[in-house]
Every structure is written in structure tokens, then in C-alpha cells.
Amino acid sequence: MKPLIQLRGANGCIGSTDGTFGETMRDSRAIWILVLFISVCLAAAGAGAIATGSSVRDWYPQLRKPSWNPPSWVFGPVWTALYLTMAIAAWLVWRKLGFDRGVVPLGLFAFQLALNALWSPLFFGLRSPAAGLVDIVPLWAAILATLVSFWRVSPPAGALLVPYWTWVSFAAALNVTIWRMNR
């Protein structure tokens, strides 16, 4: 069975297929582009973390929440894994299309990432579940559009977004429920 992501070429070098200098340089660029995608995704995560600030400590615990609300410690590891899989998915699309030909799927990716980064300042920064809802509904749709667009280019890239879309579906249900319980 072929691995989901293959970084080693036939000669055992990372990403290289024939060991030539030109191929190695292209592969080195691919690694740097992966680092770029990871950095951009983690920057979005960092922006969200900054926006949550004290709200996570003093406002969120006071809200009424459903019994199926996950414990607070779950969110960090889940989001870290999701941001990494998002970055890898975008990188796989870039590997197939580059930036020029990948403008639509990668543009959708950038759009959903911006919506993702906006949710925390709205929900936690403004301390407003209603404001979070205004963002999470188009975010959900943008993730789905990105997932479909990625799948058409690279099924593994699309598959890597399924857990993210599923988690945001759950988060949207949680956001609606918290909003209703605290009106």
C-alpha cells in the first residue's frame, strides 16, 4: 500500500526521485513550503489563543454548558492536531498544483483559515456566543467547500480535512447550545 504522504524518493533521499541537484533543490523548496503552511496555520492558532486570554479562565467556566461539553484540556491537543493536518492538506494541494494553478483551492483554504482565526476573538474576546455563531456558520461552509475542492485535486488532502470539518460541526452545535443556554 502506498503511504498517504511520501517524502522519500526511490534513492532514499527526502523527496528526491533521482538524486540530481535540481531535484533536490525543488524538494528542499517543498519542505520549506510545508514549513510555511504549518507556520501560517499555527499563527492562526496563536492569534486565537491570544484572543481567548482571560476569558477562558474567568468567563467561560461561568457559562452554562451542556453535559456533552468536552473538558477544557481536550481543546488544545485537538486543535493542534487539526492545524497540523490542515497544513499538510494545503501542502499536498500545492504539491499537485503550485500556487498559480492552485489559486482556487488554496484561496478557499486561506478564507476558511481567516474565518477560523476570527472565531476566538468573537466568541471569547467579545465574550459573545452570538458573535461566535455569526462566524462559525460561514466557517463550517467554507471548510466544506475547501474539503471538496481539495478532494478534487488530491483525495488524501481532502480526507485530511474531514476531522477538522467534523470537529467544527461539533463546535458549531456546542456554540449554538451555549448561546441558547446563556441568553
Mean pLDDT of 155-174: 98
Q: Is 149 exposed, middle or buried (0-12, 13-18, 19+ CB in 10 A)?
A: buried
Q: pLDDT tens for residues 5-44?
A: 555 443 444 444 455 545 555 688 999 999 999 999 999 9
Cα separation of 27 and 74, whole Å?
Answer: 35
pLDDT, greater one: 26 or 61: 61
Do 116 and 165 contact (CB within 8 A), yes or no?
A: no
Instruction: Select from 1.10.1660.10, 3.40.50.2300, 1.20.1260.100, 3.30.420.40 the CATH code of 36-181.
Output: 1.20.1260.100
Cα separation of 155 and 36, whole Å?
Answer: 22
Do 111 and 139 contact (CB within 8 A), yes or no?
A: no
Inter-CA distances, 128 with 60, 107, 147, Å: 10, 28, 28
Indicate the residue type of 24.
Answer: T
Cα separation of 129 and 119, whole Å?
Answer: 10
| pLDDT recorded at residue 51 | 84
What mean pLDDT is reported for the chain?
A: 89
Domain ranges of the chain: 36-181
Q: pLDDT tens for residues 102-122?
A: 999 999 999 999 999 999 999
| pLDDT at residue 161 is higher than 70 | yes
Do 17 and 100 contact (CB within 8 A), yes or no?
A: no
Cell of 161: 480535512
